[in-house]
Amino acid sequence: MTATVRHLLRDDDVTPQEQAEILDRAAQIKARPFSDRCLEGPEVVAVLFDKQTLRTQVSFAGAIAHLGGFPLVIDGKLAQVGVRESIADVARVLTRESRAIVWRTYGQERIEEMAAHSSVPVINALTDEFHPCQILADLLTIKEHKGTLAGLTFAYVGDGANNMSHSYLLGMALSGLHVRIGTPAAYQPNAAVLARAVEIASGTGGSVTIVEDPGEAVTGADVVATDTWVSMGFEKEKESRQGSASPFAGYAVSSELMARAKSDAIFLHCLPAYRGFEVDADVIDGPQSVVWDESENRLHAQKAVLSWLIEKSGGERR
């Protein structure tokens, strides 16, 4: 019997139980880095970037190599997916020659189309709408520092309409956290994503709260997170988002804002970080910051998700 191919295109492509399985696997893999070699040959995993990258390229290359495979990094400017040839044709080609496809691109509909024509797992390495691999790394980091996930209060302040906000809503709700987003009225999360997060939270014991006041968002939180105000693909809005009239001016994570959270709260940032804009140097470089653990955990989380998807799609775990 052929197993149905599994993809990770958005955070809720896995159930709460499956997300917990992946996180447990990530913790095991972190403790024994070369224990899970599901690729051999070495088999190729295609890793395609239409946008800038550092952490994602390094962590996927490492993850694929550690699993016994060969990371074939493809520059999206050369491949020109959807321009030089259709997304469907690229999917058909890559499916024949690789064991999985990892793609960082623009609109979510592009990766949905890739997955629709792929018979190997497709992993979202960031789109305009979601960044599910980052959230797995963040959950792993929170669990390491707090010992638990369900019931914690997670606060994200800044751009509520970006990929991190959407993935935090879904991914944190899956693990039963109380998710608070502090964002200006003009940057509210996508209504359908928000509704989905509320639905997930109702089944996991978590909750979802959207507020405009950043202080209200972080008050009593166990975890505080932020992200750049100028996401990739939005560079034309740099002046309006980061300039003197920035709508996010009051949303910078300063030590005063951190002081509203619990005294043992940790600070997360997916990076790259812009000190003096969304976060002050004394916070990101201070004792509550766990951003370097978070960055390293990309590697472990991605090894777990890649080996899990291959296994669930009918591949063996060796």
* 104 noted as active-site residue: yes
* 270 noted as active-site residue: yes
Residue among 10, 25, 99, 131 flagged as catalytic = 131
Q: Provide the Cα torsion 278, 176, 136, 265; round to 10°.
A: 40
Does 163 belong to an annotated binding site? yes
Site string for ligand NVA, 260-279 (x = CB under 6 A): ----------x---------
Contacts of ligand NVA in 142-171 (CB under 6 A): 162-164
> Which of 36, 43, 50, 227 is in the footprint of ligand NVA by CB under 6 A?
227
Q: How far is the CB of 148 from ligand NVA (least distance, A)?
A: 26
Q: Between 120 and 194, name the residue whose CB sits nearer to ligand NVA.
A: 194
* 134 noted as active-site residue: yes
From the list 33-41, 183-191, 225-233, 243-251, the region that binds ligand NVA by CB under 6 A is 225-233
Q: Between 11 and 36, name the residue whose CB sits nearer to ligand NVA.
A: 11
User: CA–CA separation, 273 vs 267, rounded Å?
Assistant: 12
Indicate whether 231 belongs to the interface with ligand NVA (CB under 6 A): yes
Does 214 belong to an annotated binding site? no
User: CA–CA separation, 208 vs 202, rounded Å?
Assistant: 9
Does 80 belong to an annotated binding site? yes
> Which of 70, 79, 232, 250 is in the footprint of ligand NVA by CB under 6 A?
232
* 298 noted as active-site residue: yes
Q: Give the pair of three-digit tokens for residue 129.
A: 């709408």
User: CA–CA separation, 306 vs 68, rounded Å?
Assistant: 12
Residue among 6, 7, 10, 104 flagged as catalytic = 104
Helix, strand, or coil (residue 209):
strand
CB 174 within 8 A of CB 12: yes
User: CA–CA separation, 36 vs 318, rounded Å?
Assistant: 6
- What does 166-191 look like in DSSP terms, one character per residue? HHHHHHHHHTT-EEEEE--GGGPPPH
User: CA–CA separation, 121 vs 38, rounded Å?
Assistant: 13
Which contiguous run of DSSP H or E holds residue 76? helix 76-79
Indicate the angle between helix axes 191-204 and 163-174, nearest 10 degrees.
Answer: 20
Does 17 belong to an annotated binding site? no
User: CA–CA separation, 144 vs 21, rounded Å?
Assistant: 15
Residue among 38, 222, 242, 270 flagged as catalytic = 270
Q: Between 270 and 284, name the residue whose CB sits nearer to ligand NVA.
A: 270
Indicate whether 139 belongs to the interface with ligand NVA (CB under 6 A): no
Binding-site annotation, residues for L-ornithine: 163, 227, 231-232
Question: Which residues form the catalytic set?
Answer: 104, 131, 134, 227, 270, 298
For ligand NVA, the binding residues (CB under 6 A) are 126, 131, 162-164, 227-228, 231-232, 270
Binding-site annotation: residue ranges: 80, 104, 131-134, 163, 227, 231-232, 270-271, 298
